[in-house]
Amino acid sequence: MRSVVHIHDLSFAPFISETTIQTRIQELASQLDTDYIGKDPLFLAVLNGAFMFAADLFKHLKCQPELSFVKVSSYVGTKSSGRVDELIGLQTSLKKRHVIVIEDILDTGVTMDKIFTLLESEQPASLSICSMLLKPYSYKGKHQPKYIGFEIEDQFVVGYGLDYKEHGRELPAVYQLIR
């Protein structure tokens, strides 16, 4: 694991190692297998951050999972002045499907609440959350995540899909901001 990493104007120190992440992912995968085997589960990985977590998680799943990548985009609606959220990339119908949203990190929970609202309107049979990281002290989301890799303090982290101004996603481990 690289020691200190410099991204733009900030420096980051090693926080969660690649080995620790991979071990935890295997545990999550067997938990998901137990819960979803025979249910034809559909996993929706949220871009960009969740790409690496989703890829590694999928290598271990034995519940015959389906995968789609989605992205949340916000735009200013034409008829109202308010911001409208839209989920792009969804190609299959979610009706009566068992859906698991894969995220990189849950911070305030605002993003996940939006995703949940958009997905619930598609009437899935069930909807659950699988996130690599959770900041429990800042999370105010309406839905409790069922599958969590690691709970962390309210600190800024990068690596393993997570970015600081679009850089650092390629790091195979998680790094924390040095203050």
Tell me which residues touch Mg ion (CB under 5 A): 49
Coil, helix or strand at residue 145: coil
Residues pairing with 130 in the sheet: 102, 147
Cβ distance to Mg ion smaller for residue 35 or 58 = 58
Nearest to 25 by CA among 63, 66, 67, 53: 53
Per rule CB under 6 A, is residue 178 in the interface with ligand IMP?
A: no
Active-site annotation holder among 33, 35, 85, 107: 107
Q: Hey, what's the torsion of the CAs at 153, 154, 158, 163, to 10 degrees?
A: 150
Asked if residue 147 lies in contact with residue 31, where contact means CB atoms within 8 angstroms, the answer is yes
Q: How far is the CB of 142 from Mg ion (least distance, A)?
A: 18
Considering Cα of 130, then 56, then 63, then 28, what sign does the dihedral take?
A: negative
Q: Hey, what's the torsion of the CAs at 20, 148, 32, 72, to 10 degrees?
A: -120
Read off the amino acid at residue 56. D
Per rule CB under 6 A, is residue 145 in the interface with ligand IMP?
A: no
Cβ distance to ligand IMP smaller for residue 49 or 149 = 49
Per rule CB under 6 A, is residue 4 in the interface with ligand IMP?
A: no
x/- letters, 93..122, toward ligand IMP (CB under 6 A): -----------xxxxxxxx-----------
- Give catalytic status of residue 107 as yes or no: yes
Cβ distance to ligand IMP smaller for residue 35 or 163 = 163
Per rule CB under 6 A, is residue 41 in the interface with ligand IMP?
A: no
Q: Which does 41 bind (CB under 5 to 8 A by kind): ligand IMP, Mg ion, none?
A: none
Question: Looking at the annotation, which residues are catalytic?
Answer: 107
